[in-house]
Amino acid sequence: MKRALILGVSGQDGSYLAKLLLEKGYEVHGTSRDAEVSEFHNLVTLGIRDRIKVESVAVNDFRSVLQTMAKVKPDEIYNLAGQSSVGLSFQQPVETLESHSVATLNLLEAMRFTGLPTKLYNAGSSECFGDTGDLAADELTPFRPRSPYAVAKSTAFWMVANYREAYNLYACSGILFNHESPLRSDRFVTKKIISGACRIAAGERAPLRLGNLDIQRDWGWAPEYVEAMWRMLQQDKPDDFIIATGHSYPLEEFVRTAFAHFDLDWRDHVVVDQSLLRPTDLRIGRANPGKAERKLGWKATYQMPDVVRLMTEELVKAPKASG
């Protein structure tokens, strides 16, 4: 039985990944800063909380990371922890940088110190590329980060690459473009839009306030993306991969699709709020995921309209299920 350690197990990706690994017969350990008081809502939602062994780990503390590595002795580590909001990173740049760069460095150093034959997956981000315009980014596209979050993710990416080359560690990064699910928190614009459309369809009058509707993103379905993470660690040699659908849509189209689900015209219910605009933002996020299809045998099944439908259907039925 393989043993996996998931840092950030309570988040969207960590929860879906834990479910996938359990289905594949893994023993799964997940971390939280204080596992005794964490409620792990997403694991409860997926019905797997009692099957996950939880560990208390402070990822910014090398000793804490090293002790956990020595205790669990994982075959695979999935580093999904860290401050995950691009918008919030402008307000908390130091915490954002440390939560990704220092945590990733601690993991790499712990792998080097213990000498365990552990494989590391590091969660990269499409934000690292910056604004590539109409160019579909691939694994050779230069990084030009335009937010504290993107700078932090870029730092972690290059640390992984450096340790892989310098110490022959099995360490790789998945450069994931936007991927969503019902487990997203409301601070993410996609969940905010879906939730807003649902409440307005239910009769609420308050409009949905959004920022820049002209941005374009490649949105995928999160449960599919964790399969790609796992496949990366099953390769003979570690390598970095872009994970995306290969199709980008304007945020306005995402909004229109969400409201159209309820036969509503989004223009009657959405207000553009200038206070929600970021200091810098990416105009277009476009990806070329061809390498993942060729080498991992992975290709996205769902695109943005499917993601909106699946998230909306889940949110609509959730209150009925709990009521």
The residue-averaged pLDDT of 211-231 equals 95
In-domain check, residue 291 = no
> Same structural domain for residues 262 and 129?
no
- Check whether 191 has a pLDDT greater than 80: yes
Q: Do 111 and 195 sit in the same domain of this protein?
A: no
User: 36 with 155, same domain?
Assistant: yes
The domain total for the chain is: 2
**Interval 189-208 mean pLDDT:** 94
193 and 163 fall within a common domain: no
pLDDT tier at 279 (50, 70, 90 boundaries)? low
Same domain? 280 vs 149: no
pTM for the model: 0.93
Catalytic residue set? 125, 127, 149
Asked if residue 296 is part of any domain, the answer here is no
Residues 6+ apart with CB under 8 A from 183: 11, 12, 15, 16, 42, 45, 222
pLDDT digits (tens, 9 = 90+) for 140-172: 999 999 999 999 999 999 999 999 999 999 999
Q: Which residues form the domain of 267?
A: 189-217+249-285+303-322
Give me the mean pLDDT over the 249-266 stretch: 96
